Every structure is written in C-alpha cells, then in structure tokens.
Amino acid sequence: MVGIGEDGLAGLAPAGRTLVETAEVLVGGRRHLGMLPQSGAERLLWQRPLDRTIKAIAAYRGRNVTVLASGDPLWYGIGVTLAGRFSRNEMTIVPQPSAFSLAAAQLGWPVADCAMITLHGRPLDTLRLHLAPGRHILALSEDGDTPRAVAQLLTGLGWGPSRLSVFAHLGGPHEGVVEEEAQFWGDRRVTDLNTIAIECRGTPGARALPTLAGLPDDAFEHDGQLTKREVRAATLAALASLPGEAMWDVGAGCGSIAIEWLRAGIGRSAIAIERNLARAAVIARNASSLGVPGLRIITGTAPDALSGLPMPDAIFVGGGIGEPELLPLLWAKLRPRGRLVANVVTAEAEAQLLDWHLSHGGALTRIAISRVEPVGPRHIWRSLAPVTQLAVTKPE
C-alpha cells in the first residue's frame, strides 16, 4: 500500500515510487490511477461494494500488487480494511503525510492537540462529541457540501462564531483554502476533495459537555427511565472500560450508560438493548444529539435479543433484573475477565443480587443520593430511591 498525495508520483519517497513502478497490478480510484503514467501494469479500479475488489486483490496472491491510497493508508483509509483482511507479512505500507498533518501544518496547530475525525461515510452528528471552547478539530469531508452542513450544524448549536478553514487539494498545485465563521458560511460549496479545520468558538448559549462520566440529567431526553447522574458515574466506574472493549446495556431505558461509555472514547463499541419501541427511538435521538450516532440499538428482550451479538467485555443491567434466568444468561455470554454491573431499587431484585453475590462474589454497594430542593424561601434535602449495585468480574 502506497500513500500518494496531490503532488502525485513526483512526491513519492523512493521506496513508494519503486513499488509503483515495479507493480504488476495497480489498484486505486480514477483520480489516483490518473496521476500515474501508462505502464505494463494491469489496473484495477475500486468497485462498490469494496469487498468485490478486495476479493480480486486476494486472487492476485503471488504477484506484485500495489494499492494506492490518499496520504496515510492507515488513518481512516483503505489500509485499515486491508490490514484486517491480509496478514502483516503480506503487506508493505509506505505512507505519505495525511490530510490532517498537512492542514495542521498550514495552521500551526499541534497535531497531538487536535481532534481528528472523518465525516466521509459517517454521520455528521459525530462532530457534536468534540465541541468545546478553543477546541481544534480536523475533519475529512464527504464531499463539497460537507463544509456547508458543518457550518449549519455549528450555528444551530450555538457555535456559529467558530472559524472554519476549508482546504482543497492539500499538497498539490491546485491547493486552496476558504476561511469563514460558521455563521457566515451560507450556501457556499467547495471542491469535493477537502479537509475542514474548525476552531471552536461558542456563543453564550452554546453548551459544552464533558466526556467524563456523569453528564447532567437534563442532557438526556427520557421518560423517567434514567440512571441518575451520581449513580451513572459510579456505574461507569464499575464497568471500568478498557481500550477496544465492547459493552451491552440491557434494559437501556434512554441509553445513558451506553452513550457515556462511547463518549469516553475508550471502549470500542456499545449495544443498547431495549424492549420498548418508544424508548428505543429516544435512545437513537440521545445518541445523535450527544455525538455517538454509531451506538447500535437492539429492540427486544433476552434471550432472543442477544442472539448473534458479539461477545461483550462488560454488561450493564439497569432495567431491573426481571426473570431469575437473566443474570445466569448474561454471565454465560460475558467474556472471561469481563465485568457485570447491575443496579436495582426493589427489595425483590435486591434479593436476587444478594444470592448472586453469595455464589459469585464481587462488590455489593448501596448508593444513597440526596439533593437540595427549595421549599418556599428555604431548602430541604430530598432523597432519591437508594440503588443497590452489584459489580462482579468473571474469572478466567
């Protein structure tokens, strides 16, 4: 795999150029292949779905195949897909500077301090997760309309003063940049090949939400089925997400636990399982508005709703234990060294947790929260229903 920039063959390092010039088969899009002079190499255009071309590449095993990619193939590029399909000893990867690096260099932004995302084939709501005063965001565009959509989203959320720098054809002879505040972008369209840099600036009404556990309760749409802020923070601490892990939120209610798991940016994925159709729709709206539209939502009840799902590293049960068979079923699905956390408020459900604790160990905790509320000119403490929490790790 050879990363190639807008400067084409001339910009390649010697190793990359040699791999291109000695290839028996060249794979790429029309734009990339059009950068190369004609040779005796067979040319293969990417097809939709991509899997058709990947199967064709696999059929060329034993021959010199060079795949062309934009910039760094492993940064939101085709290299990620190919690396998952071919063994490492079958590949040589020669990257070029990514669009992120080129844009950051233009602006003088330290790359390590930027949020780097792609909006190519991803929901625009992904951007919401990264909005914070002074935040620098670099985003790969879907097409020439993406900057306009970004500007409209920012303006609607109170981030209209944010500065957009939209770079076209970075690193090539046709490189250009358009700079404007989001609120004044209007209906402007740019060339399809562009990268967006955003310097976040908010109005007084703009709301910035942290990625740490325990968002305010009013950040979520809900019908009362919400794990309250203090309990939610303790629950996410008990779930203890590690990089690349997957979790299930069973009886998800408004989806707050799964959403905050994803917002933390540590766990790889989350699945919200909810039997109520109206609440499942609420989960979808919350996931989009809070910047994690990739949350997978399953409508149904265990055990049927769990069939075929990937094995989780953590499971949260927040909708009540329900049937006595639920905990043993979830325990069997959980990966070894995975964590099971269950919150209950009724005495009957608490009795099930006590039995489970006696047989499986773990930590059993009572969480009691009181909040100050006004009563006329004075204030009193109002207690929330105490929550009993079981947190247990599955042995090897």
239 and 148 share a domain?
no
Phi, psi of 213 (to 5 degrees): -65, 140
Packing angle, helices 229-239 and 256-263, rounded to 10 = 60
342 and 231 share a domain?
yes
For residues 254 and 225, give the distance between their C-alpha atoms in angstroms, rounded to a whole number: 6
Domain for residue 311, yes or no?
yes
253 and 130 share a domain?
no
Which CATH number do you get for residue 239? 3.40.50.150
Q: What pLDDT was estimated at residue 302?
A: 81
Domain for residue 237, yes or no?
yes
223 and 354 share a domain?
yes
Q: What pLDDT was estimated at residue 3?
A: 95
| Alpha-carbon dihedral 228, 234, 235, 240, rounded to 10 degrees | 150
Among residues of the chain, what percentage have pLDDT more than 70? 99
Which CATH number do you get for residue 161? 3.30.950.10
Is the pLDDT at 319 greater than 70, yes or no?
A: no
Instruction: Compute the average pLDDT of residues 232-260.
Output: 96
Q: What pLDDT was estimated at residue 221?
A: 97
- The whole domain housing 343 covers 217-393
Question: How many independent structural domains does the chain possess?
Answer: 3
Is the pLDDT at 334 greater than 90, yes or no?
A: yes
Q: What pLDDT was estimated at residue 320?
A: 67
Q: Which of 82, 36, 76 is nearest to 60 (CA)?
A: 82
Domain for residue 208, yes or no?
no
Tens-place pLDDT, residues 276-309: 999 999 999 999 999 999 999 999 988 889 999 9
224 and 345 share a domain?
yes
Q: Whole-model pTM?
A: 0.92
162 and 60 share a domain?
no
127 and 152 share a domain?
yes
Domain ends where: 65, 96, 127?
96
Q: What pLDDT was estimated at residue 95?
A: 94
- In 10 A of CB 25, how many CB atoms? 17
Q: What pLDDT was estimated at residue 125?
A: 97
Q: How confident is the model at residue 317 (pLDDT cuts 50, 70, 90)?
A: very high
